[in-house]
Structure 1
Amino acid sequence: MQHPLILTGVYKGVTMGKNLKAYDEVCDCMGIFDDLTGTIGMVDDDRRSLDSLERLVLEMTPGLRIAWSVIDGPRAVSLTLDARTRPDLVLVDLSMESMSGVMVCRRIRRRDSMVKLLAMTSFAKETFGFDVAQAGAQGLVSKNDEQEILEGLATVLGGGVYGDFGFVDARASFDQLAHETPKRADLVSNREVQVLDLMSRGLTDLSIAKRLGIKAATVRKHAQSSMQKLNAENRVQAVLKWTGHHTEDGMRRQG
């Protein structure tokens, strides 16, 4: 159940002098999450939703640090797979245009056995539950239930799983995916992921080179390699296949 004071935002205006009982309830609720520590990344293509999530985490979990929050899936994958920006947990919205949340989880889990993945949705959980569990996530929460988001964060950061769709821990989900026949996109290296991410945002080879601290010729080499691995005829098709907007055989996905 969502705490009513969290739901309405009343806790922001409560003072001991005006409502001692309400103040005590707020303190008790916040205390549940005081011991949470670690770093989290967030991805949701709704900026307002991200802002609300950031406020929730900062106000209710003082021990957590937000490593980054981004509005597109490819960027989240790139940041997670980079050791310099890898958080302890990634909070992933499942309904995004740039790359579906299920695919974000799968792209990360195929390459990383440590980072924890917590998915969130505004739809019925049954819509995505089993798919996101098979994609390597450790839990699924409702975007409309702040208390559930906090409970999910606490559970998954603590090494548990949250939900009834067959979720397993990060290492076990990594091992499960390792036994699957790899798809072309799974063969793309972490550096190629970074290049594809920046290409998807329209950066030139020179700009990508400066951003990654490599030569423009090296950028072209990575782009060519990713095109070959994805069986893409050009860079645009490579980006579309990487983000999931084209299937393995190059046909455009519907919907």
Structure 2
Amino acid sequence: MAGDISIGVVDNDRLSLRALSMVLGATNGICVLWGSTLGMVAVRRCMVPSTCPQVLVVDMAMEDMSGLELCTKIRHHASNVALVCVTSYSLALYEEDASNHGAQALVSKTDFDGIRTAISNGAIGVATQRPGSMVVFDDVAEANRQVARGNGAAPLLRAKGDLSPRELRTMRLYAEGANAGEIASLLNVRVSTVHTFEKRAMSKLGAKTRSQAIAMCIRKSLW
């Protein structure tokens, strides 16, 4: 309807995409123009005036690129679009990178009220800050100025090597909240072997801590 905030929704999980689109589309003042599981589809639609939304809701994991890559492309090619990132993981894992890649907010995927607030703010070019967080998100205009200066939409970190299936599974289980003992039981190995998998993964990723390694795995959509 005229006057509604137009949004696009990008999520690699079709059920999640449908749920987000239905919930947000049922909100007064919000109109879902389209949804997609692919980042490149979103980029193309944002570059066409008739399909370009005011706000793009971006999941951090997709099939063809990460949410951070999508933010970078949108900020370079469709600079007026506000970016509201969502994730099922801890916000602390993504928050700083989302800000550095030109997003205006990062919200838990299940926090529908928070997503609505971020959409409303984004529609007028304003960023949404998370209470208690030290990370500051830029308004759309400032994010674009940072890109123009070469300071924003930072390139993604690249892994120093490919993780083995067990190294990758170890990091994913850590991300899901398992401890070393539980992971050892699931992988049928000793706890010391789990720590070896962890150290190898950190070394290959160039990470200094387990949390940093997990964040890098998520950013690169390794699972």
Task: Name the TM tier (shorter chain).
Answer: 0.5 to 0.7
Structure 2, unmatched stretches of 5+, are: 156-219
Alignment of 1:75-154 (within 5 A): 75-154=41-120
Partner of residue 149, structure 2: 179
Q: Partners in 1 of 2:122 and 2:20 — Cα distance? A: 17
SS at match of 1:128: helix
Alignment of 1:225-240 (within 5 A): none
Q: How far 1:85 sits from its partner (Å)?
A: 1.1
SS at match of 2:33: strand
Q: How far 1:181 sits from its partner (Å)?
A: 7.9
Q: Partners in 1 of 2:111 and 2:29 — Cα distance? A: 21
Q: Partners in 2 of 1:148 and 1:181 — Cα distance? A: 28
Partner of residue 46, structure 1: 13
Question: CA contact under 8 A between 2:8 and 2:35: conserved in structure 1?
Answer: yes
Partner of residue 13, structure 1: none
SS at match of 1:136: coil
Structure 1, unmatched stretches of 5+, are: 1-35, 186-252
Q: Partners in 2 of 1:133 and 1:182 — Cα distance? A: 9
**Identical-pair percentage:** 31
Question: CA contact under 8 A between 2:62 and 2:221: conserved in structure 1?
Answer: no
Q: Partners in 2 of 1:107 and 1:58 — Cα distance? A: 25
Q: How many residues align?
A: 151
Amino acid across the alignment from 1:39: S
Q: Partners in 1 of 2:96 and 2:151 — Cα distance? A: 19
Matched, 1:169 2:147: no
Q: How far 1:46 sits from its partner (Å)?
A: 0.6
Change over 3 Å in CA distance of 1:170–1:79 after alignment to 2: same
Q: How far 1:156 sits from its partner (Å)?
A: 2.0
Change over 3 Å in CA distance of 1:81–1:50 after alignment to 2: same
Q: Partners in 2 of 1:77 and 1:106 — Cα distance? A: 10
- Greater mean deviation of Cα atoms: 124-133 or 143-152: 143-152
Amino acid across the alignment from 2:101: A
Q: How far 1:96 sits from its partner (Å)?
A: 1.7
Partner of residue 69, structure 1: 35
Question: CA contact under 8 A between 2:101 and 2:152: conserved in structure 1?
Answer: no
Q: How far 1:82 sits from its partner (Å)?
A: 1.7
Q: Partners in 2 of 1:85 and 1:254 — Cα distance? A: 27
Question: CA contact under 8 A between 1:88 and 1:115: conserved in structure 2?
Answer: yes
Q: Partners in 2 of 1:168 and 1:117 — Cα distance? A: 11
Amino acid across the alignment from 1:79: R
Question: CA contact under 8 A between 1:43 and 1:91: conserved in structure 2?
Answer: yes
Change over 3 Å in CA distance of 1:254–1:106 after alignment to 2: closer
Q: How far 1:254 sits from its partner (Å)?
A: 9.3
SS at match of 1:48: helix
Change over 3 Å in CA distance of 1:254–1:152 after alignment to 2: closer
Q: Partners in 2 of 1:123 and 1:182 — Cα distance? A: 24
SS at match of 2:21: helix
Question: CA contact under 8 A between 2:56 and 2:83: conserved in structure 1?
Answer: yes
TM-score by length of 1: 0.55
